[in-house]
């Protein structure tokens, strides 16, 4: 155990549904906190009010809860901590770590464009203002609006990233970035570092897209006299097209996979393995097992390609092994959408249990289950053509129906015995009865073992389906 308690944070900006990349970051924070007995903090970075939305914040919390990520503190709203961000910025200004800059956004844009034309990148450093010194002085005297810029150091910044190893940024790429805009509002850098200090964050696990911000943040931590946390920058998740996974390349948010009927346990497991491995062949791993196996050393440093088929495979594993009660609770909205009622919970549970191994998603499961709740099945004439051409079949099925009306108890052993005895008496192969009975009861050519199906469907519905099917054959 490390000396100081581990404190990690997941800090999403509530600008849309929770992307699977964000969910994976949340999962690694969750795993590290669980592994080291640390604290996981949820912080909603909602300072960009134009893009943030309260409903989205709730959405993100709901998605995290659904997938099984736990947090010990928060959610803190960054927007409620503005006073602290301002306080820290003014502290830096007072200590000479930051300074006032009087250029207007238009002047900065013009300078940026001018440099671009000569093939240079605009980097703001003190003394390199596009404004003349006397212009700066007169704006200061006149009390003109100003931005507060951070004085970046002139030495390289080095750190050891848990994913990428040693990372170095040279001063040539630094610029004296803005801490407070001219309207007085703090920037993302000011807010995020202030919050990480105040929340005593020890490990920052976040997407690689933030890597270029890290030297700025490290310099800020140092100038504010705080301990620099350990960083881990996770590579991007790519779609099958090898571009950054986005809605365009298919489903990309937790919400979308949820509505496809993916189980949260499967998505958690799949995402945990998308950028990390346990060092052995294991793939199906519960959160508890993942926590046990987790170590930041096996976080991958190359981009991962999201494979929907692998996720479907993973989901199928959970569909067949998870507690039935879990499956039922996650399946409930899908069953409702498929028009399946819960009038008989035992029957519903038995049907779901019989079909769970045959479906890759909860949506597929509900589609399969719907047949088992039909009063009367509509038979597809193409699928039944073969049966309709068998002369004695209707008669044989009536005899079977008579036996099934009397069999006691109505269980799969008895049902199988009766069917085989009848086949023998009629001198036909058992299959010649089994296939049409399956069609009669489910309207499909394939499915779970037949006698399990008949037992589940029950005496009354079996009689009704057989009678309907006989009518269909004769019709
Ligand atoms: N709010 C940032 C984002 O959603 C994350 C900031 C961080 O983790 O440091 O990308």
Q: From the first residue on, what is the mean pLDDT of each consecutive set of 10 residues in the chain (475 residues)?
A: 80 92 98 97 87 82 97 95 97 97 95 94 91 94 97 98 97 96 96 98 97 98 98 95 82 94 98 97 98 97 95 98 97 96 93 97 96 95 96 97 98 98 98 98 96 98 98 94
- For 358-381, how does the pLDDT look when each residue is reduced to its tens digit (9 = 90+)? 999 999 999 999 999 999 999 999
* Per-residue tokens: 215: 């030297």
Whether 94 and 48 map to the same domain: the answer is no
Q: What is the pLDDT of residue 3?
A: 62
Q: With contact defined as beta carbons under 8 Å apart, do 38 and 8 qualify?
A: yes
Whether 156 and 176 map to the same domain: the answer is yes
Q: With contact defined as beta carbons under 8 Å apart, do 163 and 232 qualify?
A: yes
Whether 69 and 122 map to the same domain: the answer is no
- Rounded Cα distance, 306 and 238, in Å: 6
Q: Which of 297, 321, 345 is the last residue of a domain?
A: 321
Whether 124 and 176 map to the same domain: the answer is yes
- Rounded Cα distance, 358 and 351, in Å: 12
| CA 309 to centroid of ligand 1, rounded, Å | 29
- 368 occurs within a structural domain: no
Whether 227 and 276 map to the same domain: the answer is no
Whether 385 and 465 map to the same domain: the answer is yes
Ligand 1: does its nearest atom lie under 6 Å from the Cβ of 210?
yes
Its domain, for residue 22, covers 7-77+189-237
Residue whose Cα lies nearest atom 5 of ligand 1: it is 11
Ligand 1: does its nearest atom lie under 6 Å from the Cβ of 14?
no
Whether 95 and 229 map to the same domain: the answer is no
From residue 405, give the alpha-carbon distance in Å to each of 399, 414, 441, 454, 466. 10, 12, 15, 12, 11
Whether 455 and 433 map to the same domain: the answer is yes
Which atom of ligand 1 lies closest to the CA of 196? Answer: 9
- 336 occurs within a structural domain: no
Whether 290 and 265 map to the same domain: the answer is yes
Residue that the structure tokens 């134009």 belong to: 50
Half-sphere exposure of 124 (CA within 13 A, CB side): 23
Q: What is the pLDDT of residue 51?
A: 62
CATH of the domain at 403: 1.10.10.350
- For 163-196, how does the pLDDT look when each residue is reduced to its tens digit (9 = 90+)? 999 999 999 999 999 999 999 999 999 999 999 9
* Per-residue tokens: 202: 């020890």
| CA 242 to centroid of ligand 1, rounded, Å | 23
- 342 occurs within a structural domain: no
Q: Which of 202, 218, 237 is the last residue of a domain?
A: 237
Q: What is the pLDDT of residue 233?
A: 98
CATH of the domain at 286: 1.10.1160.10
Whether 380 and 470 map to the same domain: the answer is yes
Ligand 1: does its nearest atom lie under 6 Å from the Cβ of 206?
yes
- For 399-457, how does the pLDDT look when each residue is reduced to its tens digit (9 = 90+)? 999 999 999 999 999 999 999 999 999 999 999 999 999 999 999 999 999 999 999 99
- For 332-352, how does the pLDDT look when each residue is reduced to its tens digit (9 = 90+)? 999 999 999 888 999 999 999
- Rounded Cα distance, 220 and 179, in Å: 10
Half-sphere exposure of 420 (CA within 13 A, CB side): 8
Q: Which of 137, 153, 180 is the last residue of a domain?
A: 180
Instruction: Report the residue among 45, 187, 205, 229 best suited for mutation to probe ligand 1: largest number of ligand atoms under 8 A from its CB.
Output: 45
- Helices in 14-166 by DSSP H: which ranges? 20-35, 54-67, 82-94, 105-117, 133-141
Q: What is the pLDDT of residue 54?
A: 81
From residue 370, give the alpha-carbon distance in Å to each of 22, 140, 320, 353, 366. 35, 74, 19, 14, 6
Ligand 1: does its nearest atom lie under 6 Å from the Cβ of 12?
yes
Residue 360 known to be catalytic: no
- 445 occurs within a structural domain: yes
CATH of the domain at 157: 3.90.800.10
- 54 occurs within a structural domain: yes
Ligand 1: does its nearest atom lie under 6 Å from the Cβ of 266?
no
Query: What DSSP string runs through 220-274?
Result: HHHHTT-PPPEEEEEPPEE-TTSSBP-GGGS--BHHHHHHHT--HHHHHHHHHTS
The total domain count for the chain is 4
- 106 occurs within a structural domain: yes
| CA 211 to centroid of ligand 1, rounded, Å | 11
Strands 147-150, 203-207: pairing kind: unpaired
- Rounded Cα distance, 463 and 453, in Å: 13
Whether 143 and 91 map to the same domain: the answer is yes
- 333 occurs within a structural domain: no
Rounded to whole angstroms, the maximal C-alpha distance in the chain is 112
- 129 occurs within a structural domain: yes
| CA 229 to centroid of ligand 1, rounded, Å | 15
Q: What is the pLDDT of residue 1?
A: 43
Whether 380 and 462 map to the same domain: the answer is yes
Ligand 1: does its nearest atom lie under 6 Å from the Cβ of 352?
no
From 35, 117, 247, 360, active-site residue: 247
């Amino acid at each position: 155990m490390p000396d100081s308690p581990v404190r990690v944070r997941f800090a999403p900006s509530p600008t849309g549904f929770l992307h699977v990349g964000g969910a994976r970051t949340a999962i690694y924070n969750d795993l590290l906190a669980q592994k080291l007995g640390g604290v996981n903090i949820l912080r909603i970075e909602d300072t960009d009010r134009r893009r943030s939305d309260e409903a989205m914040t709730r959405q993100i919390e709901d998605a995290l809860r659904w997938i099984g990520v736990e947090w010990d503190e928060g959610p803190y709203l960054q927007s409620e901590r503005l006073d602290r961000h301002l306080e820290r910025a003014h502290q830096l200004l007072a200590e000479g770590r930051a300074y006032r800059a009087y250029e207007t956004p238009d002047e900065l844009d013009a300078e940026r464009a001018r440099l671009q034309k000569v093939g240079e990148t605009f980097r703001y450093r003190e003394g390199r203002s596009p404004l003349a010194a006397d212009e700066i002085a007169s704006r200061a005297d006149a009390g003109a609006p100003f931005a507060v810029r951070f004085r970046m150091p002139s030495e390289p910044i080095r750190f050891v990233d848990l994913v990428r190893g040693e990372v170095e940024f040279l001063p040539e790429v630094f610029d004296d970035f803005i801490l407070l805009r001219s309207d007085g509002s703090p920037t993302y850098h000011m807010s995020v570092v202030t919050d990480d200090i105040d929340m005593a964050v020890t490990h920052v696990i976040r997407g690689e897209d933030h890597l270029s911000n890290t030297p700025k943040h490290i310099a800020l931590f140092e100038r504010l006299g705080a301990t620099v946390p350990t960083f881990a920058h996770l590579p991007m998740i790519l779609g099958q097209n090898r571009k950054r996974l986005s809605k365009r390349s298919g489903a990309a948010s937790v919400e979308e996979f949820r509505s496809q009927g993916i189980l949260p346990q499967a998505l958690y497991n799949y995402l945990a393995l998308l950028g990390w491995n346990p060092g052995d062949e294991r793939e199906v791993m519960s959160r508890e097992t993942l926590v046990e196996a987790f170590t930041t050393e096996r976080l991958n440093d190359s981009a991962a390609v999201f494979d929907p088929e692998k996720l479907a495979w993973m989901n199928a594993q959970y569909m067949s092994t998870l507690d039935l009660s879990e499956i039922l609770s996650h399946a409930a909205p899908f069953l409702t959408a498929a028009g399946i009622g819960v009038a008989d919970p035992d029957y519903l549970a038995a049907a779901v249990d019989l079909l769970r191994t045959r479906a890759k998603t909860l949506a597929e499961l509900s589609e399969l289950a719907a047949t088992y709740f039909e009063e009367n099945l509509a038979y597809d004439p193409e699928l039944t053509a073969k049966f309709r051409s068998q002369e004695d079949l209707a008669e044989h099925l009536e005899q079977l129906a008579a036996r099934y009306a009397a069999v006691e108890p109505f269980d799969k052993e008895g049902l199988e015995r009766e069917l085989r005895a009848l086949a023998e008496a009629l001198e036909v192969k058992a299959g010649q009865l089994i296939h049409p009975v399956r069609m009669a009861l489910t309207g499909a050519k394939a499915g779970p073992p037949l006698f399990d199906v008949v037992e589940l469907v029950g005496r009354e519905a079996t009689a009704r389906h057989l009678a309907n099917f006989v009518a269909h054959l004769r019709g």
